[in-house]
Structure 1
Amino acid sequence: MTSLAATDANVILKGEPGSGKLTLVRGMHLYKNPQAPIVVVDCSAGKSAHEELRTALDSAATTIVLRRIDRLDASTDELFADLISADQHRYPARWIVATTSTDGDALQNSALAEHFIATVEVPALRHHPDDIPDIIRMHLAPHRETAFSDDTMRTLKKYHWPGNVRELVDTLKHVLRAKPAGTIAVADLPSALSSAPRRTMTAMERAERDAIVAALRDSGGNRVAAAKLLGIARSSLYRKIDTFGIHV
C-alpha cells in the first residue's frame, strides 16, 4: 500500500465492513502529504454524491476517497467516471482511492472502475491480530495513562472480531468509559470477547454465556469453583463452555 501511495496510483480497497479501509487511506494520505486536505465522498448518498464529488474536485484536496463505490447506480457511475477522467488529465493529478465491501461482480461493468489500476484486499482483523496493539495505540489519546495486561491483550487477539477494526474501536471506547485510566484487565472487557461460538446465539444463550464468563473470571478460571457459583453440575458447565466457545 505504501508503494502505491508513493506512485500516486489510483487504487480500490476491498474488504469486509469495518475492516479499516478508510483508516488505511487516511494513514497513507498523511504519509504522502500531511499538510494537504483529504475529502471523503460517500457514494451511497444517492444524487447528492455527484455534487459532493464536484465540490471535492473544486477543493484543494490532494486525496479524494470514493467510499462504497459498489453502491453507485449505472447512471451515477458514468457521471463519476467523466468527472474523474477530466480531473486525471490535470497536473498534478489527485490521488483517487475507492473503497468497496463487495466480494462479487458489482464493479465488472463499472466505467468508474476503469480509472483504477489496482485492487488491494484489506484483510479482516481476525487475520492479523498481532496488529491489535498498534491499532489501540492509534486510538488512545496522547499521554493517556492506560495500559493493557498481557492476559487482556491475549484475549483481544483470540477474539474473532466479526465487526473488524470498527468493533475493536467501539470496544475500546466502551472499556475506557468504564475505566478511564490504569491497567485494563480481562474482567474489564465485555463478556463476548471471551467467547467464540460456532453459530449465532439467542438472547437467552448470550445471557447464559455472560453469566458463565463472569463466574469463571470471579473464580480465576477454576471451573469447579465456577460451577459452584452458578449452581450447576461440572459436566453441564463443561458442555456449555464447549458450546459457547468460552476461553477464560
Structure 2
Amino acid sequence: MSCDSLEVPYRDDVDADGSLVSAAGPLMSGLEDQIADQPVAVVLTDPRGCILDRRVGKADLRHHLDSVYLAPGFTYAEQFVGTNGIGTALEARQPAHIHEQEHFTGPLIELTCAGVPVLDPLTGSVAGVVDITCFAKDANPLLLSMATGAAQNIQTALLHQHRGHDIHLLQEYLRITRRCQDAVLAVSDDVLMVNDQARADLSTQDQNLLVERLRERSARRSDSPFEIELLDGQRCRVHAKNLDDQNFATVARLQRNAQSALASGAVSRPSPPPPGIGGSSTALQKCARALHEHYRNNAWALLGGEAGTGKSALARAIHRSNNPSQQVHALDMRTVNTADWKAAEDTATQDSGSLLVVHLDDAGPSDRERLRHILTEAATEDRRIWVAATRSHPTTHGFDDIANFFTQTIEVPPLRHRIDDLDEIAALLLRRATKRAGANFTTDALHVLKRRSWPGNVAELADVIGSVARKTNDQLITAEHLPAQCFSQNRRVLTPLESMERDAVVASLTEHGGNRSRAARAIGISRATIYRKINDYGIAIPPQP
C-alpha cells in the first residue's frame, strides 16, 4: 500500500439487496433530499468496508469521489486504503473523524470524512458503517454528529426489521409446537429455536446439517417435504415452511420414520471409540459401526475421505477389536516393494487375518494388475480374509475393476466435521508422542486448536503435536507452546518466506497480547500492513493471558 496512490479493490459480490441496505434505504433517500446541491456525500458500507450505497449532493464532489474510487463496489477497509473514515471506524468499532492530512494516502487529503459503525441490535456485531464525506474546505463541525445520528436511525430500523421477522417466526413456531409432538425447529439468520423433542432427537451435528439443508431449500423457495438421514443412520421426513420471500426464516417439523429406532423411542447411546482412535462423535460412531458390520460379515470395505483423516488407523482398530490375535498386513501403494508383495500374496492364501491396501489411488498400472491378482485369490469362497483399502480421490480413473471387489465405500469424516473429538484425539496423540500418561493440553491451547480447520486432518494435528513434544518436556501444554501455524487459517500452501513472515507476525502479536498497533511497531511495519498480513494469513489473534 502506497501513501502516494490508491489501490482500492473492487468486489462483485456486494449484497445490494441485504437487510442493511433495506433498513437504511428510506434514511438514505431522506438524506439525499437534504443534501441536494450541497457539497456533501453520504456513504453506506458493509462490515468489510465495501461500499453498498452512496448519495452525493454537488456534481464536482461526485466526480472527485469517483476519481478516488469512493463508490459502490469498492472496499475502503484500512488494510487497503490506510487511515480513513470508513476503515478506521471499522477497526476501532467507534466513530472516526479524519481530516485532510490525517488520511494515509495523498489522494484523500482534500477530503474530510466522519464514519460511524452501525451495530446489529441483536448480535452487537458491526453491520456496516455510515460515512459522511465532503471537501476539507467545506467541513462542518457537526459532520460527526450527523453521521452518528444516521447510524442510530439505521440501527433502529434494523431492530424493527428483526422484530418483524422474529415475531412472525416465533408465532409460527408456537403454533406448530402446540399442535404436534414431533421435533420442531425454527431458524433464521439470527435465531434458532428447538423444542424438547428436537433437542432429544437431534445432536448438534444433526441440527447443523438440517439448518444447512433448510437454508439451501429456502434459497430455492421450495416448501416441498424432503427426507434427511441423521448421523445415527435414522431417517426423518421434514416438512418445512418458508416465512419470508427475501430472508431466511423457516419452521421445520420432523416426522420420524415409523420403522426406525428413533420412532420406537430407543435412545442410541454413544459407543466407545475403537481402540487407539480418539473421539466419540456421532459422525465417527456411524463410520465405525458400518466398518464393524463389514468386518463381521466378511464384507470388504473401501474407506474414502480426505487425506490424513485416519482411514488406515480406523481399519486397523476395527480389526483389533474383532480379532486381536491376528495381524494386519499393510500394502502401501506409495512405498510397496518386493517383500511387501510377497507378504500380501501369503496373506491372501490364509483363512484369517486382514489385508489393508493403503493409498489405493496411488497405484500405477502394473501395481494395479498385481493387486487385482491378489484380491482375486483372496476372494475365493472358502477364504475368510478381510480386506480393506483406503483412497482419497473418489473420481480416480482406472480403478473400477478393483473397486468392484468392495461392497461399499465408507466415508471417514474430516476432522473439521467432528471437531468435538479434538480434545480426545489431541490428548491421545500427545501421550503417544511424549510417552507420558499424564501429558495434556490446557483449555486455552485446546481453544486455539479447535479454531483451526485442519486441512491436513488428523495427520496434520499429529505433526503439530509431535513438534511440540520434541521442543518441551512440560507435562501441560499451553497456547504458548503451539507453533505459529495453529494461529493461522491459510487457504493455500505458503512459501518458506511467507511462513517466516506469518510466524513473525504471530510471535509479535502473542508477545504484545494481541495488540495490533504495538505488534506492528515491534516488527517495523505499519498498522495497515499488519492488518493486511492478518487477513492474508488468516491469523486468529491469540487470547490474552
Which structure's relative contact order is higher, taking Cα pairs within 8 Å and 6+ residues apart?
A: 1
- CA separation of 1:35 and 1:155: change in aligned 2, threshold 3 A: same
CA distance in 1, matches of 2:358, 2:493: 29
- CA separation of 1:82 and 1:244: change in aligned 2, threshold 3 A: closer
**Out of 491, 494, 505, which is 1:212 matched to?**
505
**Out of 415, 420, 441, which is 1:130 matched to?**
420
- CA separation of 1:105 and 1:132: change in aligned 2, threshold 3 A: same
User: Is 1:42 aligned with 2:332?
Assistant: yes
Q: 1:128 is paired with a residue of what secondary structure?
A: helix
Partner residue of 1:102?
393
The aligned length equals 247
Q: How does 1:79-94 map to 2 (within 5 A)?
A: 79-91=370-382, 93-94=384-385
CA distance in 1, matches of 2:366, 2:529: 59
Deviations 1:123-154 (A, max 9, x none): 33233222222222333246523221112112
Paired AA for residue 116 in structure 1: F
User: Is 1:189 aligned with 2:492?
Assistant: no
Partner residue of 1:70?
361
Q: How does 1:237-248 map to 2 (within 5 A)?
A: 237-247=530-540, 248=542
> Per residue, is there more helix in 1 or in 2?
1
Q: 1:115 is paired with a residue of what secondary structure?
A: coil
CA distance in 2, matches of 1:55, 1:246: 51
CA distance in 2, matches of 1:193, 1:80: 40
* CA RMSD, 1 decimal: 2.5
Tell me by how many angstroms 1:179 deviates. Answer: 1.6
CA distance in 2, matches of 1:166, 1:199: 17
Deviations 1:109-132 (A, max 9, x none): 32x322110011223323322222
- CA separation of 1:60 and 1:145: change in aligned 2, threshold 3 A: farther
Paired AA for residue 304 in structure 2: K
Contact 1:64–1:96 (8 Å) recurs in 2: yes
Paired AA for residue 296 in structure 2: A
CA distance in 1, matches of 2:378, 2:525: 68
CA distance in 2, matches of 1:199, 1:108: 29
Paired AA for residue 186 in structure 1: A
Paired AA for residue 418 in structure 2: H
- CA separation of 1:179 and 1:232: change in aligned 2, threshold 3 A: same
Deviations 1:154-201 (A, max 9, x none): 211222323222121111111011123322111111101101134443
Partner residue of 2:312?
22
User: Is 1:159 aligned with 2:452?
Assistant: yes
Q: 1:64 is paired with a residue of what secondary structure?
A: strand
- CA separation of 1:230 and 1:105: change in aligned 2, threshold 3 A: closer
Partner residue of 2:298?
8
User: Is 1:168 aligned with 2:168?
Assistant: no
- CA separation of 1:222 and 1:46: change in aligned 2, threshold 3 A: closer
Partner residue of 1:178?
471
Contact 1:37–1:61 (8 Å) recurs in 2: no
Paired AA for residue 98 in structure 1: A
State, as a whole percentage, how many aligned pairs show the same letter. Answer: 31
User: Is 1:56 aligned with 2:347?
Assistant: yes
Q: 1:93 is paired with a residue of what secondary structure?
A: coil
Partner residue of 2:516?
223
Contact 2:309–2:457 (8 Å) recurs in 1: yes
- CA separation of 1:243 and 1:105: change in aligned 2, threshold 3 A: closer
CA distance in 2, matches of 1:47, 1:182: 40
Paired AA for residue 361 in structure 2: D
- CA separation of 1:246 and 1:66: change in aligned 2, threshold 3 A: same
CA distance in 2, matches of 1:175, 1:158: 18
User: Is 1:201 aligned with 2:460?
Assistant: no
Q: 1:13 is paired with a residue of what secondary structure?
A: strand
- CA separation of 1:108 and 1:88: change in aligned 2, threshold 3 A: closer
Q: Can you give the 5+ residue segments of structure 1 that lack an aligned partner in the other structure?
A: none
Q: 1:104 is paired with a residue of what secondary structure?
A: coil
Tell me by how many angstroms 1:54 deviates. Answer: 0.8
Partner residue of 2:407?
117
Q: 1:240 is paired with a residue of what secondary structure?
A: helix
> TM-score when scaled to structure 1?
0.86
Contact 2:303–2:388 (8 Å) recurs in 1: yes
CA distance in 2, matches of 1:213, 1:45: 37
Larger of the two Rg values belongs to structure: 2
When structure 1 is superposed on structure 2, of 222-231 and 112-121 the one drifting more is 222-231
> Per residue, is there more strand in 1 or in 2?
2
CA distance in 2, matches of 1:237, 1:137: 34
> TM-score when scaled to structure 2?
0.42
Deviations 1:93-115 (A, max 9, x none): 111001112232325532x3221
